[in-house]
C-alpha cells in the first residue's frame, strides 16, 4: 500500500489507516481486525484514551507490540472521564495533558507515541498551554509529533499560527466538502497534512447508499436531496467500480490529505477499504463531476 509523508515529520503513513474506535472490546475479534489491517499493508492506527474507557488503547497496544517499530500509533487527549464513567468533561490543561500521556503510554505498552492529538478544542482553550505541553512531551521523548482533531476554522488557524503541529484530523467526504474552502488550502500551504475521517459518510457513500438514507438527512442534505444526489453520483461515476472506491479516492485526490481513516467492525470491511484505496485514482474529470453534483459547503460557526 502506498505511503504519504505526514506533514513535515519523518513519518510515512499508509493512504488508508485503521480507525480503531469501532473494533470493539472482545479482544480476539478486535485483534483479528488489526491483524487483517497489517496483512493489507496498513501501518497507521488511530485510537484515543476516550474509546471504551481506555480499553481500546490496551487492545491496540497489545496487538501491535510485536511490530511496534514498523507502525505509526496515534492517540488523542482532552476528554476526561468522570470517576463513575457516566460521561466526560473537556480538559485541555497542560497539567492534564502531561498526566494523561503517561496513562496512554501505559495502556499502549509503549514508551513513545508517534502522533499525539488534541481531541477537539475551542478557541476559549488555553492554546499556548496546550502547545507548551506538547512541545515539552516531544522534548522529553514521550511523543514524537503532535496534531489536533478539529473542524473549527478559528482553532485550526490558531494552531497553524502558533505551533509545530504536523497534522489535522477532520471530517471530509463527498457529502461534507466544507474543508475545501479554507482548511485544506491553508494546511497544504503550511505543509501540514490532513488525516480525514468519515469518508463514507455513515455508509451513505458505500454501495449500500440508499439503505443508509434516513429522514434526518446528512449535513446540509435533506432526505430528498440524498435520494436524488446519491443515485446521480453512482450513475455518473460507479459503472465499473464500487462507490466505496469513489468515496475513498475522492479524499486522496486532494494534495493536502495524507491518509484516510476508515473504521471497521470486521476483517471483511478492512479488506474492502484496502482494495478501494489500492484502486485507480480519480481522474480530474471525475473530481469535476463530483463537485458539480454535490454541495461545496462552508463552516458557518467557529469563525
Residue 301 lies in a domain: no
Is residue 114 exposed (0-12), middle (13-18) or buried (19+ Cβ within 10 Å)? buried
Confidence at residue 39, expressed as pLDDT on a 0 to 100 scale: 98
Residue 95 lies in a domain: yes
Residue 1 lies in a domain: no
Check pLDDT > 90 for residue 63: yes
Confidence at residue 283, expressed as pLDDT on a 0 to 100 scale: 97
Confidence at residue 65, expressed as pLDDT on a 0 to 100 scale: 97
Confidence at residue 239, expressed as pLDDT on a 0 to 100 scale: 84
The number of residues making up the chain comes to: 303
Of the two residues 103 and 90, the one the predictor is more confident about is 103
Residue 42 lies in a domain: yes
From the list 142, 148, 65, the residue with the least C-alpha distance to 104 is 142
Residue 267 lies in a domain: yes
79-81/88-90 β-pairing: antiparallel
What would the pLDDT profile of 163-177 be if each residue is shown by its tens digit?
A: 999 999 999 999 999
Confidence at residue 260, expressed as pLDDT on a 0 to 100 scale: 98
Cβ atoms of 205 and 243 closer than 8 Å = yes
Residues with Cβ within 8 Å of 54's Cβ and at least 6 positions away in sequence, in order, are 103, 104, 107
The mean pLDDT of the chain is 95
Confidence class for position 137, pLDDT limits 50, 70, 90: very high
Q: Which CATH number is 34's domain given?
A: 3.20.20.100
Residue 220 lies in a domain: no
Residue 138 lies in a domain: yes
What would the pLDDT profile of 103-115 be if each residue is shown by its tens digit?
A: 999 999 999 999 9
What would the pLDDT profile of 187-216 be if each residue is shown by its tens digit?
A: 999 999 999 999 999 999 998 899 999 999
Is residue 94 exposed (0-12), middle (13-18) or buried (19+ Cβ within 10 Å)? middle
From the list 184, 111, 109, the residue with the least C-alpha distance to 151 is 184
Cβ atoms of 156 and 137 closer than 8 Å = no
Catalytic residue of the set 51, 116, 145, 218? 51
Residue 230 lies in a domain: no
What would the pLDDT profile of 18-52 be if each residue is shown by its tens digit?
A: 999 999 999 999 999 999 999 999 999 999 998 88
113-118/143-149 β-pairing: parallel
For residue 201, the Cα-to-chain-centroid distance in whole angstroms is 13
Number of domains into which the chain is organized: 1
Cβ atoms of 100 and 49 closer than 8 Å = yes
User: Which domain covers residue 57, as residue numbers?
Assistant: 11-203+246-279
112 carries an active-site annotation? no
Amino acid at each position: 500500500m502506498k505511503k504519504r509523508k505526514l506533514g513535515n515529520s519523518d513519518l510515512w503513513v499508509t493512504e488508508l489507516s485503521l480507525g480503531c474506535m469501532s473494533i470493539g472490546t472482545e479482544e480476539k475479534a478486535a485483534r483479528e481486525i488489526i491483524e487483517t489491517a497489517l496483512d493489507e499493508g496498513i501501518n497507521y492506527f488511530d485510537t484515543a484514551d476516550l474509546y471504551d474507557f481506555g480499553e481500546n488503547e490496551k487492545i491496540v497496544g497489545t496487538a501491535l507490540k510485536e511490530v511496534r517499530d514498523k507502525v505509526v500509533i496515534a492517540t488523542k487527549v482532552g476528554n476526561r472521564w468522570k470517576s463513575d464513567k457516566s460521561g466526560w468533561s473537556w480538559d485541555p490543561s497542560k497539567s492534564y495533558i502531561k498526566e494523561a500521556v503517561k496513562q496512554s503510554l501505559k495502556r499502549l505498552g509503549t514508551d513513545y507515541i508517534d502522533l499525539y492529538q488534541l481531541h477537539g478544542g475551542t478557541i476559549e482553550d488555553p492554546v499556548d498551554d496546550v502547545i507548551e505541553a506538547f512541545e515539552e512531551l516531544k522534548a522529553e521523548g514521550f511523543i514524537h509529533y503532535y496534531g489536533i482533531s478539529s473542524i473549527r476554522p478559528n482553532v485550526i488557524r490558531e494552531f497553524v499560527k502558533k505551533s509545530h503541529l504536523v497534522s489535522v484530523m477532520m471530517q471530509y467526504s463527498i457529502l461534507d466538502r466544507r474543508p475545501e474552502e479554507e482548511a485544506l488550502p491553508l494546511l497544504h500551504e503550511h505543509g501540514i497534512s490532513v488525516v480525514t475521517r468519515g469518508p463514507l459518510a455513515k455508509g451513505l457513500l458505500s454501495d449500500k447508499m440508499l439503505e443508509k438514507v434516513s429522514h434526518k438527512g446528512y449535513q446540509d442534505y435533506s432526505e430528498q436531496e440524498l435520494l436524488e444526489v446519491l443515485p446521480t453520483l453512482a450513475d455518473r461515476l460507479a459503472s465499473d467500480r464500487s462507490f466505496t472506491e469513489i468515496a475513498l479516492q475522492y479524499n486522496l485526490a486532494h494534495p493536502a490529505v495524507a491518509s484516510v481513516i476508515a473504521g471497521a467492525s470486521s476483517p471483511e470491511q478492512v479488506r474492502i477499504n484496502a482494495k478501494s484505496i489500492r484502486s485507480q485514482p480519480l481522474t480530474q474529470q471525475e473530481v469535476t463531476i463530483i463537485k458539480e453534483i454535490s454541495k461545496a459547503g462552508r463552516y458557518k460557526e467557529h469563525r
